Amino acid sequence: MNIIYLCQYFVPEPAAPAARVAELSRAWVKAGHQVTVLTGMPNHPSGIVQEKYRGRLVARECLDGITVLRNWLYATPNHGFVKKTLNHLSFMLSAVLLGLPRLGPADVLIVSSPSFFSVFSALFISWLRRIPFVFEVRDLWPAVFADLGVVTNPLLIKFLEFWEMFLYRRAARVVTVTESFRYVLIERGLQAQKVVTISNGANVDFFHPGERDNAVRSEHGLSDRFVASYLGAHGISHAVETVLRAADILRDRKDITFMLAGEGAMKTRLLALKETMGLENVLMLPAQPKERMPDFYRASDVCLVSLRDVPLFKAFVPSKMFEIMACGVPIVGAVRGEASEILTRSGSARLVAPESAEELARAIEWMQAHPHERARMAASGREFVSAHYDRGTLAGQYMQVLVGTTK
């Protein structure tokens, strides 16, 4: 099968959409299919286009057998609603004006949100090429912006919701990354047989258990510390400020260090909060390249997974959960809904209420005091992900959906 995968984000960008597209595409190429990824110039999350791609309108690469067609976009840091909207709109246009003329024949087109606007590009390309398109839903837009208070104008919300449903209905199939997303879309009127869930997962050959006392610990002077890590996006959704408040509660525990690595809309504010609070037990690092993430996970005694305590977030499942479990590291999960249900089934986590610094701090202390339980959780998480969330297995399930779409 010849597949076009349209997604604004792609490796080497350290983003969950980029990882999903790359790992699924690699699996399909390995199985004998042809995949072309239509994407932007890598700049997320800093907003600075990587040096190799600066000053270029287009670029063409081959990555592990995947044809990658990159296009210019308006690059901006991952914060500020107006600038991010311009960023998404620019990719919507460049995907058509710069990307479409370079695309070869295809049997099906997948478009992955975010962003919402690129689905319009997919709709136009699929119409012009007379091929079906699959709408891959990673976020519920605009509902997430409304719940977080980013968009408050009710007329604008209704306008966006109208176009959201229009695009769902035009897609040949809708693929969600959580079961909860699927239920929401069915409740909103989509036919149940049209919507299928292919969850996120982990490449268990790349993310696997390894040495705790590795280069990450030696580089940052962590050899004798119990390390509680938050590794990932520092956005408005992730309640990372709660991690800092937990660190404040545990500031007298000189044997515990909090390691935070990532970028996002809240990063500048979080750095300022750390300084204001005088948190010497917190190490804050920039986003790390994908190839270093396994070592960062393994260097952690426990990893923290958190979301804001917003009703809609019961439908969300942070993709980092699967990578952490695959690396054999226990989790403290400050989440509700589907994410908490998965962590409970995995046996790999201790759960606390979202946005409760006190509960988070107490759970970290409990983890530090119970090494045998940590070891049990680590083994259980690795076994669970290997059995249920291996990216290669999920790619095979996704391919069955694509084959059914083209019949």
CATH superfamily of 2-201+390-406: Glycogen Phosphorylase B; (3.40.50.2000)
- Asked if 135 contacts 164 with a C-beta cutoff of 8 angstroms, the reply is no
Do 2-201+390-406 and 215-388 fold alike per CATH? Answer: yes
One-character DSSP codes across 173-210: EEEESSHHHHHHHHHTT--GGGEEE----B-TTTS---
For the chain, the domains span: 2-201+390-406, 215-388
CB atoms within 10 A of CB 20: 24
Q: Model's pTM, two decimal places?
A: 0.94
Could you give the 3-state DSSP secondary structure of residue 8?
coil
Classify domain 215-388 at the CATH topology level. Rossmann fold (3.40.50)
- Mean pLDDT of the residues in the chain: 95
CA angle at residue 187 from 143 to 115, to 5 degrees? 35
Q: Provide the 10 A C-beta neighbour count for residue 276.
A: 9
Residue type, 221: G
**Alpha carbons 331 and 377: distance in angstroms, whole number:** 8
Q: What is the pLDDT of residue 146?
A: 77
pLDDT tens digits, residue range 100-122? Answer: 999 999 999 999 987 789 999 99
- Tens-place pLDDT, residues 126-176: 999 999 999 999 988 777 777 777 778 888 888 888 999 999 999 999 999
Q: Tell me if residue 130 falls in helix, strand or coil.
A: coil
CB neighbourhood size of 338 (10 A): 19
